[in-house]
Structure 1
Amino acid sequence: MNSNKSKILLIGSQGSGKSTQSKLLSKYLSVPFIETGTILRNLSEEETASGIEIKERLSKGEMVSDDIVAELVEKRLKEKGCENGFVMNGYPRNLNQIKLFDPGFTRVFYLKIDDNLILDRLLKRGREDDTQVIIEKRLSDYHSLTEPILDYYKNSGILETVNGEESVDSIQSKIRSRLND
């Protein structure tokens, strides 16, 4: 399938399956997969002022400043390969980030999933920053800051809600079929 310059966002709380679905969709469309969390984790390993700040915030489950994240995303989208579209997750996380830099998404898929299932998935994932306290803080941040973005994209007419509790294949199939609508 030709991506037709598809600029796709997968949104949902951590543990909703965004990365899994994004990777599959990116491969299907032959466009880059851009994951803000991976960009931030990679930068947190650098011994620079911003790397140290990012590492400190991530270790506490805090969000990195909107200015930094918006700048990183804008810079990444200007790199070779993104001119024909992309699949992204992890940005924007709040309405202010959209004001700072709007990637111009053509379609947004919301992976809806119950918080208890998310907590269970993330604790089993075993990543260093996946402690119960940090997960609960990220879920709280997600509900208060990120969910208003759903209304923004719904009002823009590009939001599609998908049941994130189904199998990986079922979710991917639904996303692909809605892309072709």
Structure 2
Amino acid sequence: MRIVLVGPPGAGKGTQAQYLAKNLSIPHISTGDLFRANISQGTALGKQAQEYMNAGQLVPDAVTIGMATDRLQQPDAEGGFLLDGFPRNLGQAEALDGYLADKGVKLDAVLDLEVPEDEVVKRIAGRRICRNDSSHVFHVSYTPPKAAGVCDKCGGELYQRDDDSEDTVRKRLEVYHSETEPIIDFYKAQELVVTISALGTVEEVTRRAMEALGRPAA
């Protein structure tokens, strides 16, 4: 299957992408991984991206599209893929459509993870991370530490990242609404969008997604 995964920040796209890709036996291709791989490998596109990032500028769509299409040409993606974080805007969606049309294939579905805005804010703004080890992550409501502000695993101080503040989350949501949501309408016109609720446990959301895609969960 060839799938695009969309949803607001905090919808759990990264987690669901991993589970879905495993269930469907297709590669999970995320924008973050594409950037890291190209930059670490010193590719021409990676160097371009690094220059823009070093200058504090947004990486142009052409660079992101180039990274994504290069990745889609790798053998493991020939039989299908799950795109996470790409396309991020209408221009990227149109470019992806053009690329796939040239290859004589098309998307099977665009899976839209739906989460109420207040829940997004609650999920992200409630995160607390250990200063000693960033892999130690807690949540004030869902997975609170035994002692407020103290990591259960190492006793380190828990803090809220600047990116996780409520004001920052709401700004990220504004960007999502203005830039990414239009691609949902673009794909709805092609009758590709499958919308599911991203509320509940990871397992519940995965099962919901697999059923919506017409595949039994493993």
Q: Out of 104, 108, 130, which is 2:163 matched to?
A: 130
Max Rg structure: 2
Give ranges in structure 2 of 5+ residues lacking alignment. Answer: 101-105, 135-160
* Structure 1 residues 55 and 169: CA distance shift in structure 2, 3 A: farther
Q: Is residue 155 of structure 2 the alignment partner of residue 156 of structure 1?
A: no
In structure 1, distance between residues paired with 2:124 and 2:206: 21
- State the match for 1:91 in structure 2: 86
- State the match for 2:214 in structure 1: 180
In structure 1, distance between residues paired with 2:20 and 2:55: 32
TM-score (norm 1): 0.82
Q: Secondary structure at the match of 2:78?
A: helix
* Structure 1 residues 44 and 135: CA distance shift in structure 2, 3 A: farther
Moved more, 82-91 or 63-72: 63-72
In structure 2, distance between residues paired with 1:26 and 1:32: 6
User: Residues 163 and 171 of structure 1 are in contact (CA less than 8 Å); yes or no, is this contact kept in structure 2?
Assistant: yes
In structure 2, distance between residues paired with 1:9 and 1:69: 15
Give ranges in structure 1 of 5+ residues lacking alignment. Answer: 1-5
Q: Is residue 102 of structure 2 the alignment partner of residue 69 of structure 1?
A: no
Letter in 1 for 2:52: E
1:80-132 deviation per Cα after TM superposition (whole angstroms, max 9, x unaligned) = 20001011110111111122232532111100112232233234165867243
In structure 2, distance between residues paired with 1:179 and 1:22: 13
TM-superposed deviation, 1:63: 4.9
Which aligned runs of 4 or more in structure 1 are off by greater than 4 angstroms?
A: 41-47, 125-129
Q: Out of 107, 112, 115, which is 1:113 matched to?
A: 115
Q: Percent identity?
A: 31
* Structure 1 residues 179 and 43: CA distance shift in structure 2, 3 A: same
Letter in 1 for 2:109: R
TM-score (norm 2): 0.69
User: Residues 31 and 85 of structure 1 are in contact (CA less than 8 Å); yes or no, is this contact kept in structure 2?
Assistant: yes
Count of residue pairs the alignment pairs up: 172
* Structure 1 residues 180 and 11: CA distance shift in structure 2, 3 A: same
In structure 2, distance between residues paired with 1:116 and 1:82: 36
User: Residues 70 and 97 of structure 1 are in contact (CA less than 8 Å); yes or no, is this contact kept in structure 2?
Assistant: yes
